[in-house]
Structure 1
């Protein structure tokens, strides 16, 4: 029996994903994964034997969910914050996923490094949502780095994705609806054609708060809209679709 004490530090928790026994280490008071990462992992179409790279991977939640839900050959996460990567790699060791999951402490703007990696079938990304310069900015705060375009912006994400993807490879991202014009422009700028959009609403009478986007490298121009996803029903309970995503009966 593995001792949690050998993997988890005093300022951290270990949380059960309820997915093939996988548990994820997170900071108690720093950035923790939310429903956006879970929805993106479910939205991403990862086939058997696919090779996947997750940009802006943070605690590694997306690679761990993909590892649990699919038969991807391997999933590599890239993250600029060194302590996040160290923590994510301890999660790899705890779950004994070394043969399939790996995390690297690198800047996705390091084009020489990005070009050195093997091409992959799928790129996923849950990037910072807010334009740099909006709101109160603390460049040393981990939550700020995760939420604001301080270390990278949409064009940086798209350029890295274009380099990493095989021809016709798939791109999946979660973002905010108010950035959709910026997203579409950046995708086409870097030859990642928008193919499918799914809006996410917190409940039936609220405005959408998230958008899930599928793109494809060097693909033809044809955009489809998926049916919307509602997180909560009229009783403030998860909808059936969200329960299915979380594996709740």
Structure 2
């Protein structure tokens, strides 16, 4: 994901944004820095694939975009490379939201990316509703208690402790304009729950793409595009993404997603 030899040098002023115990990752294709803390839930391949899955139309400079459950801000940083539109993002946990804000400052993107700290369930719909919402949500239900992480930051990011599936789908439906688009990464074993919630909140499912760790292995993620209050015109299942080759290295597709032409 990161190749430190290619990371440009930072000024002393930029380095002051990185706190003790934190590290810097460099997103090569997008030329972006990302502050990470091993005590918090780190970004994973899911976030990278979700950002890559999002499609923009020809008027991408005037879109209204929001990222739910933004964590350290990885998705807004990745999207900022592809669009000049302003991007809002919201994160519940204050320490993680602060880290995301510092990553935005580190990249000089304060005018484009706005990181908010708060509970997305409290967001109110405005006159100008959103064009796009992305969401890499908690994907374990509280019934899956055996998987509850001992680290509270990890537990909140992974489990529906403060935010359920139906709550964030409902909020997305409220905030998106007619035929606005919701992009999601989720777990295949809960795809039936996700589809039921989307349909209950007046979404039409447009695209699916399954992600497999290796060729021949079961999918462990699924990417979904859904249209708010749009007519149901059938679901397009796109070619699967295979993350690793047999030797553990990234497939050519994943190398392109991570590194671009570098």
* Paired position in structure 1 for 2:98: 86
Please report how far the alpha carbon of residue 54 of structure 1 lies from its aligned counterpart in structure 2 after TM superposition: 0.4
SS in 2 for 1:109: helix
Please report how far the alpha carbon of residue 140 of structure 1 lies from its aligned counterpart in structure 2 after TM superposition: 7.0
Please report how far the alpha carbon of residue 29 of structure 1 lies from its aligned counterpart in structure 2 after TM superposition: 2.8
Distance in 1 separating the partners of 2:164 and 2:195: 14
Q: Does structure 1 residue 31 correspond to structure 2 residue 41? A: yes
Deviation track 1:174-233 (CA, whole Å, cap 9, x = no partner) reads 000000100000001111111111110000121100000000011111211111111112
Contact 2:91-2:119 within 8 A present in 1 as well: yes
Task: Return 5+ residue gaps in structure 1 as ranges.
Answer: none
Cα root mean square deviation, aligned: 1.7
Task: Return 5+ residue gaps in structure 2 as ranges.
Answer: 1-10
* Paired position in structure 2 for 1:64: 77
Contact 2:69-2:136 within 8 A present in 1 as well: yes
Distance in 1 separating the partners of 2:111 and 2:40: 28
Query: In structure 2, do the counterparts of structure 1 residues 41 and 145 end up closer, same or farther at CA, with 3 Å as the change threshold?
Result: same
Query: In structure 2, do the counterparts of structure 1 residues 159 and 139 end up closer, same or farther at CA, with 3 Å as the change threshold?
Result: farther
Query: In structure 2, do the counterparts of structure 1 residues 248 and 155 end up closer, same or farther at CA, with 3 Å as the change threshold?
Result: same
**Paired residue total:** 246
Distance in 2 separating the partners of 1:55 and 1:187: 16
* Paired position in structure 2 for 1:236: 248
Contact 1:51-1:72 within 8 A present in 2 as well: no
After TM superposition, list the pairs within 5 Å mapping 1:145-156 onto structure 2. Answer: 145-156=156-167
* Paired position in structure 1 for 2:5: none
Distance in 2 separating the partners of 1:235 and 1:123: 36
Deviation track 1:16-73 (CA, whole Å, cap 9, x = no partner) reads 11144310111133211010000000001134222210001111100100012x1241
TM-score of the two chains, using structure 1 as the length reference = 0.93
Contact 2:30-2:78 within 8 A present in 1 as well: no
SS in 1 for 2:177: strand
